[in-house]
Amino acid sequence: MELLIVRHGESVANAEGRMQGQEDYPLSDLGQRQAAVLGRFLRSREFRFDACYTSPLTRARATALALTSALGLPEAELEPALSELHAGSLQGLTRAEIDAQFPSFLRRGLSGLGDFAEYGGESYDDVQLRVQALVERWHHRHLVDAHRVLAVAHGGVNFQLLKALVCDPVPRVMSVNFGNCSATLVRVRERRGVYLGELVFHLPVDLLGAASGEGLVGVF
């Protein structure tokens, strides 16, 4: 099975520097252009998919629709497990607002990132259980050499998903930048009795000719 993991294009909240979590925001104009550029790239390389999944959140669904439309595919199936990490009380806040209201968040170490339990959101362990259960379902549905799957989601959940696919055991800390509309191809196959992913490429959208938007606002 090959899995192409895509982060949604820039959202309005990304442009404003807000922590989104599971709050629902639309794509910005730049995000729509990013999705169109990635769609044209996949079409030009004749990518074909046997299944397409998307987070139910608007920014991911709009990105997925741009990609499936460019490829002449049916709309992606909604997959709740691809929803972004729930960030509790931090959702909807800018960096400055988080620093003022929840200063401990911006001062925590690397090993604390991805755990929002302290703020009423999802814990790290809960998120890993969620993505590992999704990987297990995909193994049963699509673990065929010729199957290629498209999954459109979010920076936080994509980070946790990639770790679950390519690492055994899964580390708490790994450094990969999931910029808006980045595309990450993972090939999953059996290796010594374990189904493990190999990272084939991790492609930022600015290499395809679209502005990334990264660096314009603070990244959480």
The 10s digit of each residue's pLDDT in 8-31 is: 999 999 999 999 999 999 999 999
Out of 2, 8, 122, 154, the active site residue is 8
- Domain presence at residue 217: no
In a domain, 17, yes or no: yes
The residue range of the domain holding 51 is 2-208
What are the residues facing 11 on neighbouring strands?
27
Tell whether 215 is covered by a domain.
no
The answer to whether residue 109 scores a pLDDT higher than 60 is yes
Given a cut of 60, whether residue 215 has pLDDT beyond it is no
Looking at residue 218, its pLDDT comes to 44
Which of 2, 10, 79, 84 is labelled catalytic?
84
pLDDT (mean) for 183-201:
89
Whether 37 is covered by a domain: the verdict is yes
Phi first, then psi, for residue 5 (nearest 5°) are -100, 120
Q: Answer yes or no: is pLDDT of 101 > 90.
A: yes
Total domain count, the chain:
1
Answer yes or no: is 77 within a domain.
yes
Q: Are 52 and 74 in contact (CB under 8 A)?
A: yes
Task: Write out pLDDT tens, residues 48-78.
Answer: 999 999 999 999 999 999 999 999 999 999 9
For the residues 184-212, what does the mean pLDDT come to? 89
Q: Is a pLDDT exceeding 90 seen at residue 105?
A: yes
Widest CA span in the chain: 51
Question: Looking at residue 116, which CATH number applies to its domain?
Answer: 3.40.50.1240
pLDDT at 111: 82
Residue 44 lies in a domain: yes
For residue 147, indicate whether it is catalytic.
Answer: no
The pLDDT score that the predictor gives to residue 155 is 95
According to the model, what pLDDT value does residue 214 have?
67
- pLDDT tops 50 at residue 217: no
pTM (2 d.p.)? 0.94
Neighbour count for residue 209 (Cβ, 10 Å): 10
**84 catalytic per annotation:** yes
Closest residue by Cα to residue 143 from 190, 198, 95: 190
